Amino acid sequence: MSLIAFLGAVESGLIFGLVALGVFLSFRILDFPDLTVDGSFPLGGAVSATLIVSGWDPFLATAIAIVAGAMAGAVTALLNVKLRILHLLASILTMIALYSVNLRIMGRPNVALLMEPTVFSLVEAPGMPSRSWMIPAVLLVVIVLALIAFNLFMASRAGLAMRATGANARMAGAQGVSTAGAIVLGMAMSNGLVALAGALFAQSQGGADVTMGVGVIVVGLASVIGGEAVMPTRTVLLASIACVIGAIMYRLAVALALNADSIGLQAQDLNLITAVLVAVAMVLPGSRASLRRNFRRVLGLGDGNGGGGARP
Amino acid sequence: MRPLSVIAAACALALGLAPVSQAGAADVKHVAVTQIVEHPALDAAREGVREALAEAGWKVGENLTWTFESAQGSVGTAAQIAKKFVGLQPDVIVAIATPSAQTAVASANGIPVIFSAVTDPVGARLVRSLENPGVPVTGSSDMLPLPLHLAMIRRALPQSKTVGVLYNAGEANSVALVETLKTVAPAQGFTIVESTAPRSSDVLGAARNLVGKVDAIYVPTDNTVISALEAVVKVGIDNKLPVFAGDTASVARGAVAATGFDYHDLGLQTGRMVARVLAGADPRTMPVETIQKTDLYVNPAMAERMGLTLPPDMIADAAKIIE
């Protein structure tokens, strides 16, 4: 693997680290299986790219992209808490609706950002060190800031209420937590992070494409699970760092698959590697119970809370 | 166990980080091909590139290193393939389809990028203009050869003045095609009349809407209209209004004639451009090419039913005559 390919994998891994953080928030903290991600990632790209080509400031365009993603997450949460639609189905509905929304925003399937100003323009100016180093450096700053903000929030009253909602909604409600409010806020934050990732991806890779959301949720989940497999996850801080590490590991695995012709791996083996990675993580201690609970919920086998309802 | 697995992963990475081996002999050239997804049209284009290079004397395994990666439809993977290629420092990167071309150009760092099967290279910001790219990026576009399509209608109907175009305004490609059609039509003495069908069930009504207003109907490569082509053909037969198409497959289904192209020929064209760059040409000044080799398909029996006798020389020029 060349140095450029390695740095490229780190660059992608840091962007998808934001996706993994969002997926960690929905799946792990809120216990809400959310597939909106496949729509909110390209939404972030579409909004930022469309605004930039219309002459808006790239930083402002990226901020608006985050808001758009947050609104998409809130829509999923409201479908679930207000209309009582099953969480998984609610997220699928938002995801497929976003495909049309993204096409409508862009006006065409692909909006190019080559030769346009982006949030990375400052570090791409002549006289700066190589782009291969500078973009990952900028992204590292972004992800560290995101991690700090995420952990400060999770330690606040609102964050603790959100964690309580995910751990045991009935109990949290009994303690006076507005569980509906916590779910809407959490889903908005989660998809805001994912839309930020989509905006940064579009700006570093030459443009937004309506198909760029395909499989993003799988990458996010694999990153969360992979990170849990190699890192201790005793606290929210460790677990949130772990999913970013997991995202970088995933992208390095892709780069290895692309570059490991010697050991016979090819790019088309990637989905198999992902499946094996997730399967291996499932049989590792520590992640087994929580995974089983999530999968039982996704498959609709019981409520996933052990069924311990309060009985008089 | 956890620290161990981290160490193992680190070791694996260290092994993978071996320096890139430079090509052995100086006369061996390296062409790296990135393709967004594998499907018949794009694969045919890639094979065309390889064949054209072989014709120009660049043979895989002798004096040409050929690296190929498909992104399996994932733009994220396409971005990483582009990074891998820049690390390999090939002589030319060949990028097939728009997302692969954009990710390649975003990372290229001065390595020439020759694209294929990109419909709108200027809109995709790959080049500054079709005539003069201004950047080391050029290639061949799969934009339909609309002037040739209009010339075909002119040849079959020398007296015609207005052409009706049927399409779905919700399909981005069709909107782009119709925009282009309206700009090239006046040069050939045609006026374009539009009629849109948002669903395939609306196609019959949209075709009837053109009766009495136009001398011929032209059906572009619009998925909605193509899926209900028989309805258009029926309107053509009932009203003696000839129907022409933008793709050759529609001729067997009842269109009078079509001028189409094959992605293998497009790839051959791209490959010849790559060969010119390998021989030292500057891609900055190489104009983007549109398809040059087209095939005419005709359906004389259907033409008669639509009240039109095709000129004998036109039938003689056809690559395929549908009986």
What pLDDT, in 10s, does the model give residues B234-261? 999 999 999 999 888 899 999 999 998 8
* Residue B30: domain span: 4-142+263-290
* Pair B250, B102 in one domain: no
SS (H, E, C) B36-82: CCCCHHHHHHHHHHHHHHHHCCCCECCCEEEEEEECCCCHHHHHHHH
Distance (Å) from the alpha carbon of B177 to chain A's nearest alpha carbon: 13
Domain count along chain B = 2
* CATH number, domain with residue B255: 3.40.50.2300
* Pair B209, B63 in one domain: no
How far apart (Å, rounded) are the C-alpha atoms in residues B101 and B99?
Answer: 5
Compute, in degrees rounded to 10, the torsion defined by CA atoms B183, B187, B189, B192. -10
- Within a 10 A sphere around the Cβ of A210, how many other Cβ atoms? 23
* Pair B283, B306 in one domain: no
SS (H, E, C) chain A: CCHHHHHHHHHHHHHHHHHHHHHHHHHHHCCCCCCCHHHHHHHHHHHHHHHHHCCCCHHHHHHHHHHHHHHHHHHHHHHHHCCCCCHHHHHHHHHHHHHHHHHHHHCCCEEECCCCCCCCHHHHCCCCCCHHHHHHHHHHHHHHHHHHHHHHHHCCHHHHHHHHHHHCHHHHHHCCCCHHHHHHHHHHHHHHHHHHHHHHHHHHHCEEECCCCCCHHHHHHHHHHHHHHHCCCCCHHHHHHHHHHHHHHHHHHHHHHHHCHHHCCCHHHHHHHHHHHHHHHHHCCCCHHHHHHHHHHHCCCCCCCCCCCCCC
* Pair B90, B157 in one domain: no
* Pair B54, B132 in one domain: yes
Which residue do the tokens 């909006």 mark?
Answer: A111
* Pair B226, B304 in one domain: yes
* Pair B303, B160 in one domain: yes
More confident residue, B311 or A287: B311
* Pair B8, B62 in one domain: yes
In DSSP terms, B67 is beta-bridged to B32
Nearest CA in chain A to B107: A205
Distance (Å) from the alpha carbon of B277 to chain A's nearest alpha carbon: 23
* Pair B221, B181 in one domain: yes
* Pair B225, B272 in one domain: no
B146-179 pLDDT tens trace: 999 999 999 999 999 999 999 988 776 788 889 8
Q: Which of A37-41, A229-233, B137-141 has the lowest mean pLDDT?
A: A229-233
The pTM for the full model equals 0.77
CA-based R_g, chain A, Å: 19
Q: Which domains does chain A have, with CATH numbers?
A: 3-122+131-298 (1.10.3470)
* Pair B173, B310 in one domain: yes
What integer pLDDT is reported at residue A310 of this predicted model?
35
- Within a 10 A sphere around the Cβ of B154, how many other Cβ atoms? 16
What integer pLDDT is reported at residue A254 of this predicted model?
82
> What region does A17 belong to: left with phi over 0, alpha with psi -120 to 50, or beta?
alpha
**Which residues from chain B sit within 8 angstroms of residue A6, using beta carbons?**
13, 17, 87
* Pair B198, B280 in one domain: no
**Which residues from chain A sit within 8 angstroms of residue B86, using beta carbons?**
4-5, 8
Chain B residues whose C-beta is within 8 A of a chain A C-beta are 2, 5-6, 9, 12-13, 16-20, 69-77, 79-84, 86-88, 98-99, 102-103, 105-107, 109, 123-126, 128, 172, 175-176
Segment holding B32, helix H or strand E: strand B29-35
Tell if the CB–CB gap between A205 and B72 is shorter than 8 Å.
no
Would you say residue B120 has pLDDT above 80?
yes
| Residue to substitute from A52, A114, A252, interface B, most B β-carbons within 10 A | A114
| Residue B223 near residue B194 (C-beta atoms within 8 A) | no
What integer pLDDT is reported at residue A77 of this predicted model?
97
> In which band, very low, low, confident or very high, does the pLDDT at A128 lie, cut at 50, 70 and 90?
low
**Which residues from chain B sit within 8 angstroms of residue A206, using beta carbons?**
102-103, 105-106, 125
Nearest CA in chain A to B103: A205
